[in-house]
Structure 1
Amino acid sequence: MQRPHIKFNSIVLVLLGACFLSSISSYGRQSPNSTSPPNILIITVDNVGYGDFSFMNEASPILTPNLNKIAKQGAILTDFYTGSPTCTASRASLLTGRIPQRNKLDYQLGGLAGNYGIGLPQTEIIIPKVLKNSPHGYQTGAFGKWNIGFAPGSRPTERGFDEFLGIASGNVDHFSHVYAGRHDLYHNTTAINRHGEYSTDLFANAAIDFINEKTSENKPWMVYLPFDAPHHPGDRNIAPGEENIWKAPDYAFKPYGLSPDERDPKKRFNAIVTAIDMAVGRLMDSLDELGIADNTFVFFYSDNGAFYPYLDIQSNAPLNGAGVTLWEGGIRVPALVRWPGKVKANETIDTRLWSLDLMQAAANLAEAELPQDRYYDGRNPLPVLTGATKHSPHASMFFKYKGQEALIWGDYKIFRESNEEPWKLFNLQEDIGETNDLAEKRPDLVKKLEEPFKLTEAEIKSDLERERLTPYTSNNN
C-alpha cells in the first residue's frame, strides 16, 4: 500500500524475550512475568455517525476495507458511548477517565481565546501521565486534534506526552491547517507550516514514524491518534475567496471512480472517510511489518455522533438525534477493538461500555497505578473485551450537556432536553431509535432511574466542594 508524504525507515527487528501471555487475570492485568507489555493505540475520528460505517450499517455506501478488516480481526462494539456529545468535552473525558462535570471541561472550547486558553484544568491527570508510572517505560505520542486547551502548561508535551504533532484547535482546514486566520499546526510546542499536506496523512504518518522509532528502541508505546477528519472546517477557517466544501485528497476519490472535482457533498464526504480508512490501513500494515501487530491493543471510535446540519450527508441510523444532543445519536458511537489472541476475531460485543473506560484499560495494560486522590468514572473494560464476562462494569451511566440530562440503567434510559421538562423514558433494548416514550405508562421506572441521577449529581457537588477546600495538585501521580 502506497503511503503519501512519508519518509521510509529501514528497520530490522529481532523479537527477543517472552511473548505477552495470552491470558489476563480477572482484573484484566497481564501477568507480572510477562516481559513484553502490549503497545496501546487509540484512534478517534471526528463526528462520524453510528450508521456511517458499513461494519455498523450494511447499507452504508462508504468504502472502508481496512476498518472492515479490523472488525473481522477483532470485535465490533454496538453499545459503546462517548463521554459527551461534543468534541472538547468528549476528548477531555477520554483522556481523564472522568465525566465532564468532574474534570470541569463540560463545554466546547470556542475561538482562539478558548482553544489557546487553559481548557482542561492543569490539575487533571491524563492517560500518558498515568503511563509514566508503568514499570515498563512506555513512550507516548499524540498526533492530531487536541482541542482541550493550548496555553502554557496545557499543551500535550506538558501533560505527559513525549511527542505531539497536531492542531491546537478543532475544525481547521484539512490542507492549510488554519483556524480563524491563524496557523494551528504544532510540533510539540513549536508552530510549524506544512501547507498542502492533508491532515489525515500528516497525523497518521507522524504516528507511524513514532511507532517505528520506539519499536526500534525496543520500547513499549502508547499512541493517541485523534483525526480531525471528517469534521467540516467551517467558514471562518477557509481562506478568503476559497470555496468551503468537504475536502479530501485526490487519491480518495479513485475507489469510487470519481474525479476530485466531484461536486456532490455526500460523495465528497464519503471520500474523506475513505481517506481515513486508507491512513488506518497504512498504520496497520506498519504494525505487521514491524512484527508487533499481535502485541498491540487497538481501539477505534468516533468522538460523537454526526451533527444535524449534515444528516442528509451522514447517518446516525438507526439512532435518533445527533451530535451535541443526549439522544442516542449524539452519544452512542461506532467502535472497534483489535487485540489478536486476546479479543476474539469476528465478534460483536453488545455490552455497554464508554470512552472513559480507556483510561482504565491503558493503566491495566501498562501495569500503571492510577492516582488515588480522585474519582474515576471509567471502569476496566478488558474483561468484557476479552470475553471473560458479558456483564457491563457500569451499573448506570450519567450524562449532562447544556441543560440536557440523561441516565442509562439496564435496558432503560431517562432523558430530557431541559431540567425544566419532564423526563422521557425509553427501553433501549426494544426501541433503539427512542421513538416510544414510556414515561406516562411507567412512572415507577422514571422514579427509579431518577434516584441514581440525583445521587450522582450530589456526589459531584460534594467532590467539587472537597476539591475547593483541598485542591488537587498537578504533581499527583
Structure 2
Amino acid sequence: MRGKPVNRLSTQGLLLLVFCCIWLRPLALSGQNADPAPNILIITVDNIGYGDLSPFNPNSAIITPNLNRLASQGARLTNFYTASPTCTASRATMLTGRIPQRNKLDKQLVGLEGNYGIGLPHSEIILPQVVKKSPHGYATAAFGKWNIGFAPGSRPTERGFDEFLGIASGNADHFTHVYAGRKDLYHNTNAINRHGQYSTDLFADAAIDFIREKSSGNTPWMVYLPFDAPHHPGDRNIEPGEANIWKAPDHAFEPYDFSPEETDPGKRFQAVVTAIDMAVGRLMVHLEELGVADNTFVFFYSDNGAFYPYLDIQSNAPFRGAGVTLWEGGIHVPAIARWPGKIKANSTIATRLWSPDIFVGVAALTAAEMPQDRFIDGKNFLPVLTGQTIHSPHAALYFAYQSQQALIWGDYKIIREKPEDSWMLFNLREDPSESRDLAGGSPDLVRKMEEPHRLIENEISSYLQREKKSLHIQARKK
C-alpha cells in the first residue's frame, strides 16, 4: 500500500521531467548560443583631412598599412560627416548624440580658463552614462584628448567613464604633455607626469592594458580612444627656445627614407600620422591575441578636417575648405567601421551618416536604453553599416558654426558664411569640390532648400525655450 503513492509520484515526476526537457531545452540552448555582448572601440584622430589617408586618397604619401588593413577588414565610409568643424564641439556632438545648438557647447574651448571650466553642461548625458545602463555590465574608459571641460563634475570619471588617462586640453605637447605652460596629463582626476612618453603610444598602451584586464575577466568594454595627434604643434606648449615642429617618435620615421632629424614639416607630419597607424596596429594585434577582435565593433574617424594654415602639407582633397568651416573640407571626414561577420569586409558605404549616429548606434549595440527626456539628433546607423539598407536615416543634415550655416538635402547643399549673405547652392554628387555655385540659375531650388533650414532653426529655438522652462520648473521644485 505504501509503495503505490511513491510510484504515482515518480510517474508524475517523470512526466514533469520530460515536459521540462522538451519545452525548456530550446530556451537553454538559445541562451548558450546567444552572441556575447560586443565590445566597443571608438578611435578619433585630430584634424586629419579626408585626403590624408590612402584608403580615401590613393595618392597620399603617408604610410598607414594598419589603417589600410582596418579598412580592408571592414567598410570605408565615404559620405560621413562630423556635426561640427572644430575639436571641442565635434567631440561633444558624438558623446551626446546632439548637435551643438542643443547641447550648448558650440564653440572651441581655448586657454586654461576654457579647458578647465565646466564646458559641456552637466545636464547633458554622455555616451558612457548610457552604456552603463546596459544589462550586460560594460566597463568604460577614455584615453586621450578630452577638451570638453575639466572642472569638478566635468571630468571623464565623473561622467560615466571608469578610467581616464589623457589631457584635459586640446593640443598639449606630445612628449612633455604641457599646455600653455602647465602640465596637462591626468590619470582619472589626478595630475601625473609621463615626461618623454609620446602621447599616441601612451594612450594606446593604456587602452591595451584596460582591454586586457577586462577581456581576461570576460567583462564587455567600451573604450573611447581620442588621439590628440596629429594636431598641429603649438608654440605656447613648448619650452622657450625649443623648435616648434611636428613631433613623432623615432620608430615612426623608420618606414620612410628620412630620419628623425628631418626638418621638412610635410615629411614630419607624415611620421606623426604613421605613429598613429602603428599604435592602431598594435592595438588590433592585442585584440586578436586576446581572442576578442571578432566580437569588437571598431569605429575610426577624424574629428574635423585639416586646417587652412597646413593645407600645404595636409589634404582635404577632393573637398573645398578646411577645419572650422562648413565647406566639405571642414565637415566631410574619413571614417572606417569594422565588425567581422556583421560589416562586410573590404566594402564601401556611400550612404550619408554623421557623428551623432555613433551615440545611438552604440546604445543599440549594448542594449542600453536611450535617454527619453531630450531630443537626440543621431539615428541608429547599424542597419546601414551591416548592409540591411542603403538608405540614410536622415532626410537632411543641418550645420551651424559661428556665423556660418549649411544644410545638405539629397544631392544638394546650401551654404552661407554670414546670415546676411545670399545662399550658395552646390550639387555634391556632381561637384564634391563645391566649385560651381548653382544658386543664380536655380532660385526655386534655393528656396526649396532654405525652407527646411528655416524650419529646423525654428524647431531648435522652440526646443531650447521649452527646455529652459522645464529646467526652471525643476529648479523651483528643488
TM-score w.r.t. structure 1 length? 0.92
Q: What corresponds to 1:366 in structure 2? A: 366
Give a deviation string over 1:126-161, Cα, whole Å, max 9, x none.
Answer: 000001110000100000000000000000000000
Q: CA deviation at 1:356?
A: 0.5
Q: CA deviation at 1:399?
A: 0.3
Q: What corresponds to 2:10 in structure 1? A: none
Distance between the aligned counterparts of 1:88 and 1:79, measured in 2? Answer: 22
Letter in 1 for 2:285: D
Q: What corresponds to 2:304 in structure 1? A: 304
Q: CA deviation at 1:471?
A: 1.7
Q: What corresponds to 2:153 in structure 1? A: 153
The 5 Å alignment of 1:393-404 reads 393-404=393-404
Distance between the aligned counterparts of 2:166 and 2:116, measured in 1? Answer: 14
Going from structure 1 to structure 2, the CA distance change for 1:32 and 1:118 (only over 3 Å counts) comes to: farther
Distance between the aligned counterparts of 2:334 and 2:142, measured in 1? Answer: 21
Distance between the aligned counterparts of 1:320 and 1:35, measured in 2? Answer: 44
Distance between the aligned counterparts of 2:338 and 2:152, measured in 1? Answer: 36
Q: CA deviation at 1:112?
A: 0.1
Q: Which moved further from structure 2: 107-116 or 231-240? A: 231-240
SS of 1:434's equivalent? coil
The 5 Å alignment of 1:189-200 reads 189-200=189-200
SS of 1:143's equivalent? strand
* 1:446 correspondence with 2:446: yes
The 5 Å alignment of 1:346-365 reads 346-365=346-365
Going from structure 1 to structure 2, the CA distance change for 1:357 and 1:399 (only over 3 Å counts) comes to: same
Letter in 2 for 1:120: L
Q: What corresponds to 1:86 in structure 2? A: 86
Q: CA deviation at 1:266?
A: 0.4
Distance between the aligned counterparts of 1:56 and 1:90, measured in 2? Answer: 21
SS of 2:157's equivalent? helix
The 5 Å alignment of 1:236-247 reads 236-247=236-247
Distance between the aligned counterparts of 1:99 and 1:378, measured in 2? Answer: 9
SS of 1:415's equivalent? strand
Q: What corresponds to 1:17 in structure 2? A: none
Letter in 1 for 2:127: I
Q: What corresponds to 1:234 in structure 2? A: 234
The 5 Å alignment of 1:175-214 reads 175-214=175-214
Letter in 1 for 2:437: D
Q: CA deviation at 1:169?
A: 0.2
Distance between the aligned counterparts of 1:34 and 1:374, measured in 2? Answer: 32
SS of 1:447's equivalent? helix
Q: What corresponds to 2:116 in structure 1? A: 116
The 5 Å alignment of 1:13-412 reads 34-412=34-412
Q: CA deviation at 1:467?
A: 1.3
SS of 1:133's equivalent? coil
Give a deviation string over 1:62-121, Cα, whole Å, max 9, x none.
Answer: 000000001110000000000100000000000000000000000000100000000000
Distance between the aligned counterparts of 1:240 and 1:220, measured in 2? Answer: 46
Distance between the aligned counterparts of 1:243 and 1:72, measured in 2? Answer: 38
Letter in 2 for 1:258: F
Q: What corresponds to 2:462 in structure 1? A: 462
Q: What corresponds to 1:23 in structure 2? A: none
Distance between the aligned counterparts of 2:104 and 2:452, measured in 1? Answer: 21
Distance between the aligned counterparts of 1:189 and 1:452, measured in 2? Answer: 44
Distance between the aligned counterparts of 1:263 and 1:305, measured in 2? Answer: 24
Q: Give the % identical residues.
A: 73
Q: Which of the two has greater helix per residue? A: 2
Letter in 2 for 1:394: H
Q: CA deviation at 1:33?
A: 7.5
Distance between the aligned counterparts of 1:35 and 1:69, measured in 2? Answer: 25
Distance between the aligned counterparts of 2:34 and 2:193, measured in 1? Answer: 43
Q: What corresponds to 1:432 in structure 2? A: 432
Distance between the aligned counterparts of 1:445 and 1:375, measured in 2? Answer: 29
Going from structure 1 to structure 2, the CA distance change for 1:371 and 1:33 (only over 3 Å counts) comes to: farther
SS of 2:69's equivalent? helix
Q: CA deviation at 1:460?
A: 1.0
Letter in 2 for 1:117: G
Bigger radius of gyration: 2
Tell me how many residue pairs correspond in the alignment: 444
Runs of 4+ in 1 over 4 A off after TM superposition: none
SS of 1:337's equivalent? strand
Q: CA deviation at 1:34?
A: 2.9
SS of 2:392's equivalent? coil
Distance between the aligned counterparts of 1:278 and 1:199, measured in 2? Answer: 13
Distance between the aligned counterparts of 2:83 and 2:174, measured in 1? Answer: 26
Q: What corresponds to 1:5 in structure 2? A: none
Q: What corresponds to 1:8 in structure 2? A: none
Q: CA deviation at 1:238?
A: 1.0
Q: CA deviation at 1:444?
A: 1.1
Q: What corresponds to 2:12 in structure 1? A: none
Give a deviation string over 1:318-350, Cα, whole Å, max 9, x none.
Answer: 000000000000000001000000000010000
Distance between the aligned counterparts of 1:32 and 1:162, measured in 2? Answer: 29
Q: CA deviation at 1:438?
A: 0.5
Distance between the aligned counterparts of 2:330 and 2:88, measured in 1? Answer: 14
Distance between the aligned counterparts of 1:383 and 1:226, measured in 2? Answer: 25
SS of 1:51's equivalent? helix
SS of 2:51's equivalent? coil
List gaps (5 residues or longer) in structure 2: 1-30
Distance between the aligned counterparts of 1:121 and 1:240, measured in 2? Answer: 36
